[in-house]
Amino acid sequence: MHPLSLFHFSWPERAAYRVPLPGGRTLELGARTLVMGILNITPDSFSDGGLRLDPKRAVDDGLSMIEDGADILDVGGESTRPGADRLPAADEMQRVLPVVEGLAAHGAALISIDTYKSEVAREAVARGATIINDVSGLLYDRTLGQVSADTGAALVLMHTRGRSREMYELAVYDDVVREVGEELRGAIGRAVAEGVREDAIILDPGFGFAKRAEHSFEVLRRLPALAALGRPILSGPSRKSFLKVALGERLPPDREWGTAAAVATSVLLGAHIVRVHGVREMVDVVRVADRIRSST
């Protein structure tokens, strides 16, 4: 027998999930990796702030992302980059609701609302959003969970600590993966206590949030450990500053090749959804990485 024939390798298993959505629909996760396109309607987001403040431009960009292969569009009206200022709910709704409504009228992809405010989420779901993406893991507004429970919208719970201006002071871990897992389990508990169905929950380890670069790389490397939480995983490394440790000092748009490596790693290690800025390029990365997974 040839010695190479003795070697067998398989990627970590990726469990299949059916996440309920409003209107009796379901989000099927596991057979392939879904791509969530980032649609920021902000003047100050770290990568693309100021590009889509006109609702028509934002809707057109979202439709272009769908043409490029996005399965989900994540619409956000407040920058959540570390150090960002908070935005009143009324201002956030003025930015995002026309975009959500415009995209929903086309019905070509699922819409996620990236907010931690219950009033914004409720209005966005009323206009067609089916997923609520909460960067705080219900730490900022627990009643956001009630919106998911009342409307049937799926709920993404991201790991973080503290608010944006203090999160790096709280980035102290003995075992970052174990502690992120424990704190995400706590977020699940908060959601269930507010009436959220556990099968409606998706988890995001929160690369770059209350984590220094070495923490984010460690969480990415050990992503399969979070599968023990029993919920699908959303990975969002796109253009994040932790990539600069490997790439050197670069502006966010110049981190796309580094993003490709992190996205491919996420797929190979079992992520169900990847959240990205460059949809066209990352759809190609995901398709190849999925093919590699399925070839073992």
Any idea of the CA torsion for 287, 292, 294, 296, to the nearest 10 degrees? 180
Which class for 142: exposed (0-12), middle (13-18), buried (19 or more C-beta within 10 A)?
A: middle
DSSP letters, 109-131, are SEEEEE-S-HHHHHHHHHTT--E
8 Å CB contact between 122 and 129: no
User: How far apart are the C-alpha atoms of 4 and 91, rounded to whole Å?
Assistant: 61
CA-based radius of gyration for the chain: 18
User: How far apart are the C-alpha atoms of 35 and 40, rounded to whole Å?
Assistant: 16
User: How far apart are the C-alpha atoms of 162 and 136, rounded to whole Å?
Assistant: 8
Query: Quick check: is 244 catalytic?
Result: no
Query: Quick check: is 280 catalytic?
Result: no
Instruction: Please measure the distance between the N-terminal and C-terminal CA atoms of the chain and give it in whole angstroms.
Output: 20
Catalytic-role residue among 52, 161, 239, 240:
240
User: How far apart are the C-alpha atoms of 109 and 111, rounded to whole Å?
Assistant: 6
Catalytic-role residue among 275, 287, 291, 293:
275
8 Å CB contact between 22 and 150: no
Catalytically active residues are 240, 275
